[in-house]
Structure 1
Amino acid sequence: MATVAISWGTVKSLLIFFAPVLLPRLITAYRSLRVSIASRPPPRPLPAAPARALNILFGGIVFFLLLSLPFNPHAPDSNIFSLTRSRLNTPTDVIFNRLARLRPNNLLTEADKLLQSKFISLGARKVYLTFGPDALVSCPYCSFDDLNTYLMYYLPFNVLLPHLVHLLLLGVATSAPIAGPESSRWRNKFTIGGLVLVAIDIYIVATYDAIQGAPLSVRAGQTPPSSLYNHITFLRPLAFVLYDVVCSVVLWLSATNRFFFKPPSPVDQVDQATSMAMQGVMSANSKLHAANVTRNAVVRDPTLKNRDDLYWRTMAASENPAQGSGEGGEQILNNIWEEEDVVRAISRAMAGQTGIDLAQLGVNANDHVREITEGLD
């Protein structure tokens, strides 16, 4: 085999030619990656909406994994060439006589007899190995002169339908109303990946030749041929499982801010700020409504009304102790600021013996009053 040697001069020429184009792009990509890593927030617990998406994908993974097992109820029948250890050129009668010995009471079933009637040529065996026994037996318009007719019969229910179910699962798992915006941002990418799986599946089935693509030992009649139909029936759901596992990992990494972090757009930031403001307004409105209901309840109840009046008379008397006692002979409390313990505590605070920074406390009080009274002039 001839080898191609590349000299150092050729490498230098290629670097000189491509470096002015590639180097700025690499530097820009490196800087954007550093900015993305630096601005990435710390990891967070998995939100509820992406958790629903992962649960949907997990259900799909379990379902397709069961379909990939050979003992599931919808698994295809075993390849009769491997089952009877027959070669590609073994006569039909010999193959089905061997098959009859494996059946109950050594008798072929009706399906076996129908398949035997179609096993009349090498083309029929090719169709059987590629598209399965159902296409060979049940297709009413197919012809051995044009094997694409068998392909058209095989594709809808054996290829397109499973992939449509898989795409529907991906669509539900990345739907914004169900899985939230963290999952919906991956919808187009996951759908494109699913369509790539469809294209690969169709390409393999359409281009595979059960005879020309078989190993030399099969074509020479030394070993039994393998069935693409049986293999791909099990491998198709297994491919769905692997793809959904990858999608689940990507969703988990992005939803928990561990990777693939995307900063919110200005529109999303405005929506978030508006949502927070609306929540604050609704919370304040509910608290005011609760206070109003409580106030109405106090006013309507005579006992609570008398206690409320007594409280406010007490507060007024604390500002003007000369008022004496309240109505009905009820003694009003003296001004709390004249209590001996209170006066002593105030004296210690003013002397700086309590560890309280009165200057900072005054600044904080002034700031609080200024924020409250702003705009009232």
Structure 2
Amino acid sequence: MNRIKPFLPFLLTFLVPRGISYYRAIKIAIKTRPPPRPLPAKTSRGLNILFLSICLFFFMSLPSHSPSYQPNIFELTKSRFHIPTDVLFTRLAMVRPLTSSDEALREKITTPIMRQLYLRFGATTLLTCPFCHPTDPNSYLLHHLPTNTLLPHLIHFLLLGLATSTPISGPSTNAFRTKLSLSALTLVILDFYLTTTYSNSIPPSNSPSVPHGIYWTTLTIRPLIICAHDILSSALIYISATNRLPFIFPSTSPTSAHDPEVVKKRQTHLLTQSSVAMQTALTKLRAFGIARSAVVRDAGVNGLKGRDDEYWRAVVGMEGPTRSGADGHGAGNRDVSAGSVWEEEEVMEAVSRVTNGGGLDVEKVRREADIFVESMTQWLEEGVEDG
């Protein structure tokens, strides 16, 4: 009790109030959380990609996943570190037939430094590196890192990026894209740090222990850690997408309405809808203008223009003589202006060039006009059928 007394002020003033407030927050969140919802289809696609990643890296963690896999010959023959090379390979020949790679390796691991590099980087790096030298261990490291350390993480980043992309997995999965990418990047940094700094120490000459290589340990542990990362990521995405733990994952809670990213996505969605609505309205206005132009140009005895003028005269007669005079004057101006425009010499020459095929594809224009008219008069045909 006397040992705890110095820490009592800290416990009573800091930890206890925070613990109580956190307990109350969790209790309220559990009571007010929304009901679970079914898993969205896009989120299911993202989880399927993560499942593929889990299966792939679990297969990579198996010792026999590659035909070129070579086990640690010290463990295979139960030999100590300083055993003579000829004795080591004689024991290896008793376990399995020697190959050309074994013969090449026999010439490599004749010194303690090369055996240390063998335990650190494996046989493939020692045999295939064209620029490495025993006096420069970093040269073996540079040859080892891209294919053995960097490549698995690049594959993991690719699958993780596909699983958390908005077009494939939807916004509920994309909300975790940054967090999961940072956690995967942490694994890369940790892996690089261990690979570049850790090395098997050279044991004493009289040590009877069998050396265990870090290369074979990382060959198994690295894919398993990536598997565990993807399993936790899948659980996180599933729980969040189905609204099961909103007090831990705020992306599904009501407070997400104040999230800047969510607000930005909603604004973008509303802007897209508004743009589509404006384009539709503009198309309808153009159709109305074309229809109005057709009415004005049909100036025959029983043409549409005569019916239109008669309609507006009736409307003006009902509204008052002042409006009638103004509209009549305006209608007259429209007729004169329309007639004068079409009777101008430049306009007539342009119409003549177009009619005679002067650089205009008449068939293409006719097809586009037919498509436009059909799309704009479809509601008229539907109204006639309903009537």
TM-score, normalization by structure 1 = 0.65
User: Does the CA-based 8 Å contact 1:139-1:150 persist in structure 2?
Assistant: yes
Q: Using the alignment, how far apart are the partners of 2:37 and 2:70 within structure 1?
A: 49
Q: State the Cα deviation string for residues 78-129 of structure 1 (Å, max 9, x = none).
A: 111122232211101111223334454xxx4322222111112001101001
2:59 maps to which residue?
A: 66
Other-structure match for 1:118: 108
| 3-state SS, counterpart of residue 43 of structure 1 | coil
Runs (5+) with no aligned partner, structure 2: 282-376
* Residues 129 and 143 in structure 2, CA contact (< 8 A), matched pair in contact too: yes
Q: Which 5+ residue runs of structure 1 have no aligned equivalent?
A: 1-7, 299-307, 309-377
For the structure 1 residues 152 and 15, does the alpha-carbon distance in structure 2 shift closer, same or farther, using more than 3 Å as the test?
farther
Match of 2:312 in 1: none
* Deviation of the 1:246 alpha carbon: 1.0
- Cα deviation, residue 40, structure 1: 1.8
Distance 2:60 2:241 in 1: 29
CA contact (8 A) 1:87 1:224 kept: yes
Which residue of 2 is the match for residue 232 of structure 1? 218
Distance 1:84 1:43, change over 3 A: same
Residues paired across the two proteins, number: 279
**Is residue 293 from structure 1 mapped to residue 286 from structure 2 by the alignment?**
no
**AA matched with 2:143:** Y
Q: Give the match's secondary structure for 2:4.
A: helix
Q: Distance in 2 between matches of 1:110 and 1:268?
A: 62
Query: Which segment is superposed worse, 11-20 or 85-94?
Result: 11-20
Query: Equivalent of 1:46, from 32, 39, 42?
Result: 39
Match of 2:287? none
SS of equivalent to 2:170: helix
CA gap 1:69/1:189 in 2 versus in 1, 3 angstroms: same
Q: Structure 2 length as normaliser, TM-score?
A: 0.63
In the alignment, what sits opposite 2:233? 247
* More displaced 10-residue stretch of structure 1: 256-265 or 240-249: 256-265
Q: Where does residue 189 of structure 1 map in the other structure?
A: 179
CA distance in 1, matches of 2:184, 2:104: 37
In the alignment, is residue 148 of structure 1 matched against residue 121 of structure 2?
A: no
Quickly say closer, same or farther: Cα 1:274–1:41, change in 2 above 3 A: farther
Q: Percent identity?
A: 39
What secondary structure, in the 3-state scheme, does the structure 2 residue paired with 1:265 have? helix
Counterparts of 2:241 and 2:227, CA distance in 1: 21
CA distance in 2, matches of 1:123, 1:99: 21
Q: Quick one: distance in 2 between partners of 1:168 and 1:269?
A: 24
Q: Give the 5 Å matches for 1:101-116.
A: 101-104=94-97, 108-116=98-106
Match for 2:75 among 77, 82, 89? Answer: 82
- 1:112-163, CA deviations, whole angstroms, 9 ceiling, x for partnerless residues? 2221111120011010011011222233333333423322221121111111
> C-alpha separation between the residues in 1 aligned to 2:200 and 2:130?
22
What whole-Å deviation, never above 9, does each CA across 1:188-225 have from its counterpart, x for those lacking one? Answer: 2111211221222223323333235x7xxx97432322
